[in-house]
Amino acid sequence: MKAVLLAGGLGTRMREETEFRPKPMVEVGGRPVLWHIMKVLGSQGITDFVICTGYKSEYIKNYFYNYGASNLDFTVRLGDQSSTVFHGSHDEFDWKVTVADTGLTTMTGGRIKQVEKYLDGEPFLATYGDGLADIDLRALQDFHAQHGKTATITTTQAVSRFGVVDIEPSGLVSQFREKPKVSDWINIGYFIFQPEIFKHLDTNSVLEEEPLRKLAEEDQIGAYKHHGFWQPMDTFRESQMLNEIWDSGKAPWKVW
């Protein structure tokens, strides 16, 4: 199974980091958050990636095109770049990475539509290039196979941004709860799609709007419930938090 990674957004909510690079390339522990997502997938058997780029696409292209030179010693005859010989190996040696420029302002569904030609008419995983989770791919894939529908979305119960105050009918405060989990389930990506999804996509599609709503109306989406770690990197503060978790040596998403 291939993985489609959505890495083309503008990242406007964390301009401190994204003025000069796309958000999926903001680093956690010295590596792009996109790399961390790929390591989670790669350690569980998905090593064929299609990256949908847009904003500052060249940054992602250069990173993967020069991955060998950045991670290994090498010898090159300067008048003949094709003579380059890399010495040794790295843990990502078996990754296959297709980097596709899907446009600066293209929406999520349109980006996936544009890379249909790279997916060989087979089921595929798709996820956002900025959300880290200790996802159990085997359980997700088994769930998708069991319900037999066009799509599976991964959901979780997010932690509230704010503390909660419990108030008695008398008006007295009974307790404070610091940022509890909310009862509703939210979409965190890590989709699995059958090829039939492309019947619902066009170049202007916002995946999370009409395509998924239509599939829900047709009873063609299953919701896999993820009870483990999940954290998006939408803001500069969240990028700092993820780095602190990594530096602690106890990053929950480090399943490799």
Q: Identify the burial level of 229 via C-beta atoms within 10 angstroms of its C-beta, where 0-12 means exposed, 13-18 middle and 19 or more buried.
A: middle
Residue 143: strand, helix, or coil: helix
The token pair at 117 is 């030609």
Q: Give per-residue pLDDT as tens, 161-218.
A: 777 788 888 888 888 877 767 778 999 999 999 999 999 999 999 999 999 999 999 9
229, 132 contact by CB (below 8 A):
yes
Tell how strand 151-156 and strand 191-193 pair up. antiparallel
Question: How is the chain split into domains, by residue range?
Answer: 2-154+185-247
Does the pTM exceed 0.85? yes
The token pair at 44 is 């569980």
pLDDT at residue 163 in the model = 77
Q: Which secondary-structure segment (H or E) carries 246?
A: helix 236-247
Start-to-end Cα distance in the chain: 19
The dihedral formed by the CA atoms of 50, 14, 202 and 120, expressed in degrees to the nearest 10: 10
60, 34 contact by CB (below 8 A):
yes
> What gap in Å lies between CA 204 and CA 226, rounded to an integer?
30
Q: Give per-residue pLDDT as tens, 76-135.
A: 999 898 889 999 988 999 999 999 999 999 999 999 999 999 999 999 999 999 999 999
Q: What percent of the chain has pLDDT over 70?
A: 99
Cα dist from 58 to 126, 222, 230, whole Å: 21, 36, 28
> What gap in Å lies between CA 92 and CA 115, rounded to an integer?
23
> What gap in Å lies between CA 114 and CA 109, rounded to an integer?
9
* Domain 2-154+185-247 belongs in CATH node 3.90.550.10: yes
Residue that is written with structure tokens 């709503």 in the block:
213
Residue 75: strand, helix, or coil: strand
> What gap in Å lies between CA 116 and CA 106, rounded to an integer?
15
